Amino acid sequence: MNQMHGSSHLSLAPTLAPLADRKTPRQVIDRLSGDGFRYVQLSATHPGLRPRELDQSARRDIQSTSRRREMVISGIDLWIPPEHFTQDSHVDRAVQAALDTLTLAGDLGRCAVSLSLPSPDDEHNDGFVQTLTQHAQHCGVTIADHALPIALRPPIGVGIDPAQWLSADEDPIRGVLDHAANLVVARLCDISREGQRGPVGRSSESQLDVTAYQATLSACGFRRPVVVDLRKWIEPWAGLQQTEEVWRAGFPA
């Protein structure tokens, strides 16, 4: 792979967890670096990267490992079912996990945290959303809410996952256009006609217009790394290579 570095080329940030089959986070970072990637997306639920497992020494080690490989942590995913934030049996644990992840993101370079929040119509929302927002601001971190339908709750930003949008019969390109001013995390993933998440560029299987998605992000001034969301891909390493090649083809030299 030959990942391009310029911000105008919308660099890619693969999600580490799906690539870590029988590999440590350090080994995945080493391979991604060798393949030319300069960003990586972490998961707060992945073994070895859970906030409660990482003391300050371990957090410094993650940063130094990334720096030595000339890589930047683009963000951290925390995929808790949104209803856990409002259910009495789960809310305390869910809120604490989010607070811990925000702290970790602050320690790892103030990267964005991706999660899905429940609808603002839920009567339980006001308290915990304010708690998360205040803690995010304290840590210098931005939250990207990936829930659909989108609910604008500044300073919480918007996250767009094309596969999620397509599975809900929504247009992710229109989502970028409509929410460009609040877009914090843009992800890259396609979905097959049968509903399987996977890489882009699968000819008749593809639903995402990658060229249009790419052009729209560029036109809207999005300059953060685009997260290649490898969750549930059958062959994540091969799919990542295919996705990177398709993405790079949109930026001719």
What CATH number does the domain containing 19 carry? 3.20.20.150
Q: pTM of the prediction?
A: 0.93
Which pLDDT band holds residue 169 (cuts at 50, 70, 90)? very high
Q: How many domains does the structure of the chain reveal? A: 1
Rounded Cα distance between 243 and 247, Å, is: 6
pLDDT (0 to 100) of residue 124? 62
Whole-angstrom Cα distance, residue 253 to residue 250? 10
Model pLDDT, residue 2: 42
Q: What mean pLDDT is predicted for residues 225-235?
A: 97
What is the mean predicted confidence (pLDDT) over 153-158? Answer: 96
Q: Does position 1 have pLDDT exceeding 70, yes or no?
A: no
Residues near 2 by beta carbon (within 8 Å), at least 6 away in sequence: 36, 248
Q: Tell me the pLDDT band of 112, cut-offs 50, 70 and 90.
A: very high
Residue found under tokens 């964005």: 112
* Position 189 in a domain: yes
- Report yes or no on 2 lying in a domain: no
* Percent of the chain topping pLDDT 90: 86
Give the count of beta carbons closer than 10 Å to the beta carbon of residue 9: 17
pLDDT at 126: 66
Query: How high is the pLDDT of residue 4?
Result: 38
Give residue 125's pLDDT.
Answer: 66
Asked if residue 231 is part of any domain, the answer here is yes
> Which pLDDT score, from 0 to 100, does residue 193 have?
86
pLDDT, position 5: 37
Q: What is the pLDDT of residue 38?
A: 97
Q: If you average pLDDT over residues 217-242, what whole number do you get?
A: 97
Average pLDDT, integer, range 16-33: 95
Decide if pLDDT at 204 tops 80: no
Phi first, then psi: what are they for 72, rounded to 5°?
Answer: -120, 135
Domain coverage including residue 143: 7-249
Evaluate whether residue 197 is within a structural domain: yes
Q: For residue 1, is it within any domain?
A: no
Decide if 99 is inside a domain: yes
**Residue-wise pLDDT tens digits, 88-108:** 999 999 999 999 999 999 999
DSSP letters, 143-163, are EEE--SS---BTTBEEEE-HH
Average pLDDT score over residue span 73-84: 97
User: Percent of the chain beyond pLDDT 70?
Assistant: 94
